[in-house]
Amino acid sequence: MEDKNISISEINGCVIIPTYNNEKTLKRVIDNTLKIVDGKYIIIVNDGCTDSSSQILEEYKNQVTLLSNETNQGKGYSLNKGLKKAIELGFDNAITIDSDGQHFPEDIPNFIQKCKVFPNHIIMGARNMSQEGVPNKSSFGNKFSNFWFKIETFIELPDTQTGFRLYPLAHLKKMHLFTNKFEFEIEIIVRSAWRNIGFISLPIKVLYDKNERVSHFRPGRDFFRISVLNTVLVTCALFYFYPKHLISKKSLVAIKNEAIKPEESNFKKSISIGFGFFMGIFPIWGFQLLIGIPLSILFRMNKVLFIAAANISIPPMIPFIIYGSFLFGQLFLEGEINHEKLLSFTMEDIKTNSILYFTGASIFAILAGFAGFGISWLSFKLFRKN
């Protein structure tokens, strides 16, 4: 039954437990959850289990809401199914917890309490990934995921792969999610961040028992799927989130703070801006940030200033960049400028004059990079205090 001190009904919430072939830990997870939360607030999704999990779930069919997939569809599919059911039942919040035994249902009251303090926030259970017993592949995967989440949203979280989370459901009603496997949990938080949903990290206990825990994460296939998703998300961020974020008041303050950060030299800040202009114009459309961000990290540049400058290639600026690229291409390769042709260029002209365009864009990018560096360095020298 529910804890007398705190109840999930206080946040009109429920608990969702997706499960697939976790017969060794499933019953313990359910029983421990029932000690904290009444069964009418629990949704379990049987993702086509082929072991004895289905028989275990039969014991609880009259206590909880039990959903089933005829065949294994993936964790993301099951989570999405559970979230939709929670919305259908009128819940405002949903806590998700894995059935492999790594999470402690005793932490659920902490999520409830945190939700009361930070309503309408996604609360992420933060595991201690440096503790003894944590698999190396889990630790690496989490660092990899944290890095790309920060690139895609400008938000830094200690654990973006945790399955122990609290979702406010209102904003999910109109969100169509595309992924069905493990990458679902990345897609949902990135796209929520793009909708300005706040995030809170909550330390949680974790147990990795190699004798009990069964992980269905397939390193090769699932890591590839996650990598493809991150590529898509970064590309979408380039044309949607970065321009939107760049013009917000909050982001302008963040850029200003980066510009005046005292521990960085004028040279470092200026080279970051110059490199951003260069990558924003260089003719590798869709890949500027995928290539530029790792390079900015490798050479220890200011990543915020780099990304801000790289957004010179936002859609309204693209016609001017193409115009400038053809202008420099004509000047360098043909020795003359045909203004009439420049003013009537089309995408077909770019294809048929690819060498002219690529050469001109490369020159334009180099000159813009040097100009960005020079103007920034001079401005910092004149107006920034030592």
Mean pLDDT by 10 residues, the chain (386 residues): 71 98 96 97 97 96 97 96 98 97 96 97 93 74 88 92 97 93 94 95 89 66 81 80 67 66 85 94 83 88 86 74 84 68 55 79 94 92 72
228 and 252 both lie in a single domain: no
204 and 302 both lie in a single domain: no
The whole-angstrom separation of Cα 330 and Cα 321 is: 14
The whole-angstrom separation of Cα 384 and Cα 346 is: 43
The whole-angstrom separation of Cα 76 and Cα 85 is: 14
For residue 349, the model assigns a pLDDT of: 58
Number of domains the chain contains: 2
For residue 3, the model assigns a pLDDT of: 46
Model pTM score: 0.67
156 and 215 both lie in a single domain: yes
Residue carrying structure tokens 């009444």: 38
Tell me the three state secondary structure of residue 44.
strand
Return the amino acid letter for 210.
K
234 and 252 both lie in a single domain: no
312 and 372 both lie in a single domain: yes
270 and 195 both lie in a single domain: no
DSSP track, 298-347 = HTT--HHHHHHHHGGGSGGGHHHHHHHHHHHHIIIIISS--HHHHTT--H
Domain presence at residue 339: yes
For residue 1, the model assigns a pLDDT of: 43
53 and 198 both lie in a single domain: yes
For residue 65, the model assigns a pLDDT of: 98
For residue 11, the model assigns a pLDDT of: 98
DSSP code, position 43 = E
127 — phi, psi (to 5°)? -80, 155
For residue 47, the model assigns a pLDDT of: 97
The whole-angstrom separation of Cα 62 and Cα 141 is: 38
18 and 161 both lie in a single domain: yes
The whole-angstrom separation of Cα 199 and Cα 309 is: 27
For residue 182, the model assigns a pLDDT of: 87
217 and 329 both lie in a single domain: no
For residue 222, the model assigns a pLDDT of: 74
114 — phi, psi (to 5°)? -65, -35
Q: Which domain holds residue 65?
A: 8-238
